[in-house]
Structure 1
Amino acid sequence: MAEKSDHSARGDKDKLSLNAAWSMAVGGMIGGGIFATLGVVFTVAGQLAWLSFVIGGAIALLTAFSYAKLTVHHKESGGVYLYLREEGHIAAARVAVWALLIGYTLTVAVYAYTFGAYLSEALNLGSWVRPTAAVVIIAVLCGVNLRGVNESAGLEIFVVWAKLVILLVLAVIGLIHWAPAQLEPSHSLGAGESGLLGAVVGAASVFMAYEGFQLLSYDYEEMRDPDRNVRHGMIWGVIGVIVIYVLVTLGVAMLVGANEIIKDGEVSLAVAGRAAAGEPGFIAVTVAAVFSTASAINATVFSAARLAHRAGEHGALPSVFERTIGKNVPWAAIVLISGVAALLALFGGLDPLVKAASFVFLAVFATVNFFAARLDDKNTWVGGLGFAGAIAAAIVLLLHMVGVL
């Protein structure tokens, strides 16, 4: 989340275009989403894994309308925390900022875990590489953030489009070899329900794959024609990601089969890359995953730390989050978020991290939809439907996590 004072004098030509806004939204979602969650969703949803991404995407799309609506209404960067605070819902704002901070920290841990897994698979040096690489990449990017360095919009656009090309080529090669039987996993591997209920559980379980578009709400002042670009960037970003997730899910299944996806887990896309184009395909997907997850870690720590700093100044978080160095760099927030995320990546498994992050963001998105529905306009039904969908998915996920479903 950029500080207003850093950019108040920037000309319109230096601000974010619609392409940059869309790329940031897509990059925030794909950053670790499809790379980390494909094995999890096949384990839960079986042959309807693709439908899980459609259901989760529908909830995310409704929430994108609500986020954009609140952002345009307030005409200010800050996200749901600031909007709740400005509307006088101080207690709700406090809960929201804690939930966001927990969600972002869990997400950083998932991205780091995935980074380590892909690097470990590529180097083939032993199981020690994954946790070591996960902790090292968080430490390195913690240092980058402490220096106050953030990705440029141009670099973000390049990275996003590069990985989109790789993922789409992978999907197309797989779809050419269409074989529906490849979608059906063996129950001996622990695959769950394959019916509609399984698809709903899958959507809830990997909902964190749609976390990220809301980071645009922290960049309202950084955009050209912000009302239009925030709205279009979020909404079209989610639509684009739904299409990509469905195509990749189907394409990868055609290449290696559901059983291999479940077995290979977070590195299944790299294995599919090898099946599609040999070692060059494996390397291309691995490079995309490594750069994508690293970029997502950097962007998430950057935004989360500045959110925590602002909340600390307001008294919504402990005063330690107010501490800064240099040019207003919130060092305490950066170190705390990075440190906790590193511990989670080191000792937590991918499945529980993904599901915990998904639950947190479902709760946050339900809150966003609820307050968006309260704004007096003709589209209150969007927020109401988004609220109902997010709450229902959160309940389903909770029941699944405690073993009822």
Structure 2
Amino acid sequence: MGGRTSGQGKIGFAAVWAIAVGGMVGGGIFSTLGVVISHAGKWAAVSFVIGGLIAYATGHSLAALTVDKDEPGGIYSFLRDTGRKRIARTSAWVLLTGYVLTSAVYAFTFGAYVGNVLGGPAWLPPAMASGAILAMTVLNLRGAGQATGVEIGIVVVKLLILAGLAGLGLSQFEAAKLEISAQPGLLGIVIGAASVFMAYEGFELLAYDYEEMEDRKALMGRIMPWAIGSAALIYVLVALAVPMLTGTKTVIEDGEIALANAGQAALGTPGLIAVTLAAALSTVSAINATLFSSARLAKEVAQDGDLPDRFAASNSQGAPSAAVLLIAVPALVLAVIGGLSGLVSAASLVFLTVFGVLNLLAWREGVGKRWITLPGALGSFAALGVLALDLAGLV
């Protein structure tokens, strides 16, 4: 996700792609595959495609709004600059809530994978989750940012591991293995797409790095299909491949460590370690980047008077310390006490809401292609409605 160590040169296509893909594949696929399969059954891959299409439309809207204004920002600044100050303030609170939830999911996933490979008592995974957030909080309080070279390396490693896992699974592909006992219909596919939509969260923070891009208007305009398409492709391949290695029922039962067990089924202990390494790198990197960018969003909102003044202050290292803690503390609590499915669904609700508004704003402002922005808004709000009804037990 967004953010970059100061003092470096302009970032090019590879670094921008890595930041976006690293944000989206920052933990979502490692923890949510069982969730989407439990809803969509053999059509889980289709759920990821639907989510990817909504994300693509949103990325198109975000890029169009950013290029049109030719300045860094996001939905908060877009709404503020168009005179919608009350909605802007609300969007900031909603978005910060979403970043708290996603940080909690990343930490929960880190704890689950590392705790699983180490073994030990039941308190170990939440302890590891807490440790991940605390370590990244200290890093951010010291003023460290995101080094793009490190980000590219992490993304390449985890994508290679996931691609290898997908290749091993697809080499044994049998459609019958995707079946579950109570096969859902079309509504289940939509619920699956909506319930794990947080897996596509992350690309939107590119708007904060806009001024640091080489040939920023051109790059911002063309990066979204590549980045979102890359994430969607790996999600689809993994959704089709992992059930081939362990069985669909086992993927659902294994929950947050389903990919680790698939790696072990494919290659034994080396496979288990490789997938755990990918999950650990992904989640720690995503926590760090989320804290980096969301704290700076909180600082901007505070400077505009829409958050208390203390969140605009920086410490001696130049870091917005109160803003970092605003995200880190509740994320740590939720990572320890929250259930994975609830955290994922809540985060998906938040980002479907934010992305729906972003698409609608692009359509209202007449930027981008309306045949993309309007379906993006309708798709976001439709998925939001279905997920809300599902969580209320009404569908």
Structure-2 change in CA distance of 1:117 and 1:377 (3 Å): closer
Distance 2:270 2:221 in 1: 38
1:136 CA drift (Å)? 1.1
The question of 1:383 aligning with 2:378 is answered no
CA contact (8 A) 1:214 1:234 kept: no
Distance 1:167 1:3 in 2: 25
Distance 1:18 1:54 in 2: 24
Could you say which residue in structure 2 is the equivalent of 1:329? 319
Could you say which residue in structure 1 is the equivalent of 2:191? 201
Could you say which residue in structure 1 is the equivalent of 2:177? 182
Could you say which residue in structure 1 is the equivalent of 2:95? 100
Could you say which residue in structure 2 is the equivalent of 1:109? 104
Distance 1:3 1:17 in 2: 12
The question of 1:50 aligning with 2:40 is answered no
Q: Secondary structure at the match of 2:247?
A: helix
Task: Specify the code of the residue in structure 2 equivalent to 1:242.
Answer: A
Distance 2:162 2:320 in 1: 35
Distance 1:137 1:186 in 2: 37
Counterpart pick for 2:394 among 387, 395, 404: 404
Written as runs of structure 1 = structure 2, the 5 A alignment for 1:1-400 is: 14-187=9-182, 194-376=184-366, 379-400=369-390
Task: Specify the code of the residue in structure 1 equivalent to 2:64.
Answer: K
Task: Specify the code of the residue in structure 1 equivalent to 2:159.
Answer: L
Task: Specify the code of the residue in structure 1 equivalent to 2:33.
Answer: L
CA contact (8 A) 1:183 1:258 kept: yes
Q: Secondary structure at the match of 1:127?
A: coil
Task: Tell me the TM-score normalized by structure 1.
Answer: 0.95
CA contact (8 A) 2:154 2:282 kept: yes
Distance 2:367 2:391 in 1: 37
Q: Secondary structure at the match of 2:268?
A: helix
CA contact (8 A) 1:18 1:232 kept: no
Task: Specify the code of the residue in structure 2 equivalent to 1:226.
Answer: R
Distance 2:103 2:263 in 1: 25
1:3 CA drift (Å)? 9.4
Distance 2:67 2:316 in 1: 32
For the aligned residues, what is the CA RMSD? 1.5
After the TM superposition, list the runs of 4 or more consecutive aligned residues in structure 1 that deviate by more than 6 angstroms: none
CA contact (8 A) 2:263 2:272 kept: yes
User: Which runs of 5 or more structure 1 residues have no equivalent in the other structure?
Assistant: 188-192
Task: Specify the code of the residue in structure 1 equivalent to 2:184.
Answer: S
1:319 CA drift (Å)? 2.2
Give the number of aligned pairs.
Answer: 394
CA contact (8 A) 2:313 2:320 kept: yes
Task: Give deviations 1:2-22, integer Å, cap 9, x for gaps.
Answer: 599x56xx6xxx211111111
Distance 1:252 1:106 in 2: 26
Distance 1:315 1:27 in 2: 32
Distance 1:232 1:367 in 2: 22
Q: Secondary structure at the match of 2:366?
A: coil
Task: Tell me the TM-score normalized by structure 2.
Answer: 0.97
CA contact (8 A) 1:22 1:232 kept: no
Task: Specify the code of the residue in structure 2 equivalent to 1:271.
Answer: N
Name the % identity.
49
Q: Secondary structure at the match of 1:78?
A: coil
Distance 2:285 2:368 in 1: 38
Distance 2:347 2:35 in 1: 13
CA contact (8 A) 1:374 1:380 kept: no
Task: Give deviations 1:3-49, integer Å, cap 9, x for gaps.
Answer: 99x56xx6xxx211111111111000000110011011111111111
Task: Give deviations 1:129-148, integer Å, cap 9, x for gaps.
Answer: 11111111101110000001
1:403 CA drift (Å)? 0.5
